[in-house]
Amino acid sequence: MADQQVLATGHADMDYAEHEKTYRRFLMLMKWGSIHVVIILIILAFLTL
């Protein structure tokens, strides 16, 4: 590992496009998951009044 060179754009063995795509998908799922949780909490609050 120490003998591998790191390029200015990153490590040669990394697929940065795929990494960024996965990270964007993760952020999207966290955003929509949070929105759904908030909606469920609001519904439950109205049901318990």
Residue 5 predicted with pLDDT over 70: no
pLDDT at 16: 87
Residue type for 25, please? R
Q: Residues 10-47: pLDDT tens digits?
A: 777 788 889 999 999 999 999 999 999 999 999 999 99
Confidence of residue 8 (pLDDT cuts 50, 70, 90): low
What are the sequence ranges of the domains in the chain?
A: 15-47
Quick one: pLDDT at residue 49?
86
Determine which helix (DSSP H) or strand (DSSP E) holds 11, and give its type and residue range. strand 10-11
For residue 6, what are the CA distances in angstroms to 1, 10, 42, 43?
Answer: 10, 6, 50, 52
